[in-house]
Chains A and B, each alone.
Chain A
Amino acid sequence: MNRTPRLVAAATASTLTLALALTGCGRSDEAGTTAEGSGGSTNSIPDGPATGTIEVWAMGTEGELLPELAEQFEADNPDVTVNVTPVPWESSTEKINTAIATGEVPDVMQVGTTLVSGFVELGGLAPTPQEIDSAAFFPGAWDTTVVDGTSYGVPWYVETRVLYYRKDLADKEGLAAPKTWADLTAFAAGLQDAGAEHGIALQTRGNSTALMYLPFYWQAGGEIMDAAGDFTLDNDAQVKALEYYSSFMRDGLAPPVLVEDEKVQNFIDADLGSFVSGPWERANLLTTAGDDFADKFGVAPLPEDEATGSFIGGSNLAVLADAENPDAAWKFVQFTTDPATQVDWFGISSDLPAVQTSWDDPALADDEAVAVYQDVLETARSTPAIPTWAEIEHELDLVIEQVIAGDLSPEDAAKQMQDAATSIGTGLD
């Protein structure tokens, strides 16, 4: 009767022993799995029209709208079928990780700019062929495809952060859009004189606080990593930027604890003078407040200090390392990043083109609300393409929150940021 427990125990023990025996081997020498096709752009795109079936995964709105663009591609290449599968953003990372681990992958995939390194670390993405011209894209956007010196994928569309402000309040006080740090402080104070409860809103806690803060660090002349790939977070620029960022909350120019959900409503009610956000916010404001509201607010680049700087986000298109139809897949990617197609896609989705020459098209150049982004995008940057960035960013979020609460001095905070980043490491070996 007491055989069952012993059997189970024996099975468990043998599984464990097996596990331990196998782990005895440990990691192989070529630590990262990035080794696959690491010779850079050895693959190339053949000539002639694309054939066969291309499976594409795209997320959110892009997933819903992409079939419209795919029809054009199918019209140009009669022997090709493009199947677009929309994937919700929330579950995309797990879904893609599973797909890569099991080898059941699509041919082309939309990859959020900050997620590239994670999929590369898994060995999931194919290196970009040499036919793709890196110089055609905004440099900050191209950088998001590069992991450890090799590019994986092509920038598809971009977004960046700018200052949204109440034009009516600014006009009342005769304020021009701020150009420097000192301007921005005076601007926020002026908007408060004009009746706003708070002159500006900056994120004070929670996910992506660091993304809101880092542009100020870049403006102060800071860099997250140096050319050798070491973190450089503990320096005067960090102290200066933290001091400047937290000064808004301390001096009553920004809410000491920002509730994100209330931001837009407060802005519409003129209780809030300005805030930092991306291109999607315009549509959001107009749907909430009505089209008349367009006259009441303006959009300006973030101020500059030692340098200009903003955050560049968006999505890339990548071909999977295990793709069944890589040739046609790259052709499709090439097609979507063609300057003319990029303008078409802007018309379909309002996504901002990642290709610089597309911005000369009247559809973008003549639209004031859009043209402001072009200059910002030229110098905007992304966070480092390292697999551990999400974890480091989480640490930065927590440190910045403490500085704003007054629990930590900017000097100690800069040191803590550096220590946290160094102890987590780049994950690239």
Chain B
Amino acid sequence: MRRSSARRRRTGLTAWGFALPFTALFAVFMLLPVVSSLYMAFTDMRGADLRTTWAVNFVGFDNFVEVLADPKFQQAAGNTIYFVGVAMPLTLGIALLLAVLLNSGLVWFRSVFRVGFYAPVVTSIVAVAVVWRFLLQPDFGLVNSALGVVGIDGPRWLTDEAWAMPSLIVMATWRNVGYLMVILLAGLQGIPRDVYEASAIDGAGPVRQFRSITVPLLRPTLLFCAVITGIGYLQFFEEPFVMTQGGPLGATNSVAYEIFNQFGFGNYGLSAAMSYVLFVAIVILSYLQFRLLRTEK
């Protein structure tokens, strides 16, 4: 008995020895920042306290109360929910549609399309912003010129309170659809062909096959896509940052953008608190997605 326990301890030590480099790196570069940001969220730390980070006051939940009562944060939260609520289903839907079409063999030049849809994912947001600003330019932009041909007087997309967010939703969808398409395409190719053949013999049409075979067998892939997109979209930042600076009248200000602003103003405590509010929102959304899309046993 004693021998075996001693050996077990020795094995444990060896294991810890192997795990030490990672554990140390993890503790210093992941755990410590996480813990200190949590600590920051409960203090009144400002930019000026950088040299004396310990000499700040502990303020309990004051930062969280202030954040949740702040009308600007409430507007940003509303905008973020609007964005996630519309852009996430839209991106997933279009990505699935494209993946099915590309997988079905109906499309010519398949690889050309794959590259085409994936290109926005790897293009720098700065270049994308320039091009989209040209597209959406009110007087001579491509979108409004095209609308003008059919007699529609297009709005000032990025400076109109009602149209700014939809414009950014379309842009974000366009940017992200390629990535999900590639993942879904891989998932589709993992579904055995004979399932489709068997169902065809039973008389199932393409729509029925899609509903009863493709979607259920694609569930794990869809779950992955939904979670990844949800997390990314809740941290909606780049599009308003490069296109609208959160305007007009705060219509495209997002939670992540507000956090960025508050950090810039040196309100470290407050913005850390905002970050944790966002973190909780991400946890809740991901949990719901897991509940909704988990594979039935």
Contact = CB atoms under 8 A, between A and B. Distances in A.
B250 interface: yes
B56 A26 contact: yes
A27 B267 contact: no
A22 interface: yes
Interface in B43-77: 43, 46-48, 50-52, 54-58
A118 B267 CA distance: 12
Interface SS of A by simple majority: helix
A134 interface: no
Contacts of A390: 264-265
A402 B249 CA distance: 7
Interface residues of B, number: 33
A16 interface: yes
A206 B55 contact: no
A327 interface: no
B55 A26 contact: yes
Nearest to A13: B35
Interface string A107-121: 000000000001001
A100 interface: yes
Nearest to A15: B35
B14 interface: no
Contacts of B267: 391
Interface residues of A, number: 40
A25 B54 contact: yes
B295 interface: no
Contact of B56 (A27, A101, A207, A259): A27
A126 to B, nearest CB: 15
Contact of A257 (B43, B159, B261): B159
Interface string A220-256: 0000000000000000000000000000000000000
B31 A12 contact: yes
A153 B35 CA distance: 38
Contact of B52 (A12, A20, A33, A402): A33
A291 interface: no
A401 B265 contact: no
Interface in B148-166: 156, 159
A261 interface: yes
Nearest to B12: A3
Contacts of B50: 97, 100-101, 122
B40 to A, nearest CB: 10
Contacts of A398: 249-250
A394 interface: yes
Given A23-B56, A391-B267, A259 B48 contact: no
Interface in A369-413: 387-388, 390-391, 394, 398, 401-402, 405, 407
Contact of A387 (B38, B48, B245, B250): B48
Contacts of A97: 47, 50
Interface string A3-15: 0000010011001
Interface centre among B46, B50, B58, B261 (most CB of A within 10 A): B50
Contacts of A16: 35, 38-39
Contact of B51 (A8, A24, A100): A100
A135 interface: no
B249 A32 contact: no
A23 B49 CA distance: 13
Given A26-B56, A26-B58, A205 B51 contact: no
Contact of B39 (A19, A25, A205, A257): A19
Residue picked from A19, A401, A402, most chain B C-beta under 10 Å: A19
A401 B247 contact: yes
Given A11-B27, A401-B247, A401-B248, A27 B35 contact: no
A121 B249 contact: no
Contacts of B245: 206-207
A190 interface: no
B133 interface: yes
A127 interface: no
B247 A206 contact: yes
A28 interface: yes
A350 B30 CA distance: 48
A123 B55 CA distance: 15
| Most-contacted residue by chain A among B31, B39, B48, B248 (CB, 10 A) | B48
10 contacts: A16-B39, A19-B54, A23-B58, A25-B55, A26-B58, A259-B138, A259-B159, A402-B249, A405-B248, A427-B48
Given A27-B55, A118-B47, A257-B248, 17 more contacts: A16-B38, A23-B39, A23-B43, A28-B55, A97-B50, A100-B50, A101-B50, A122-B47, A257-B159, A261-B133, A387-B47, A387-B48, A388-B266, A394-B261, A394-B265, A405-B249, A427-B46
Interface of A: 8, 11-12, 15-16, 19-20, 22-28, 32-33, 97, 100-101, 118, 121-123, 205-207, 257, 259, 261, 387-388, 390-391, 394, 398, 401-402, 405, 407, 427
Interface of B: 27, 31-32, 35-36, 38-39, 43, 46-48, 50-52, 54-58, 133, 138, 156, 159, 245, 247-250, 261, 264-267
Closest 8 CB pairs of A and B: A391-B265, A121-B48, A101-B50, A257-B159, A23-B58, A22-B54, A26-B57, A19-B39
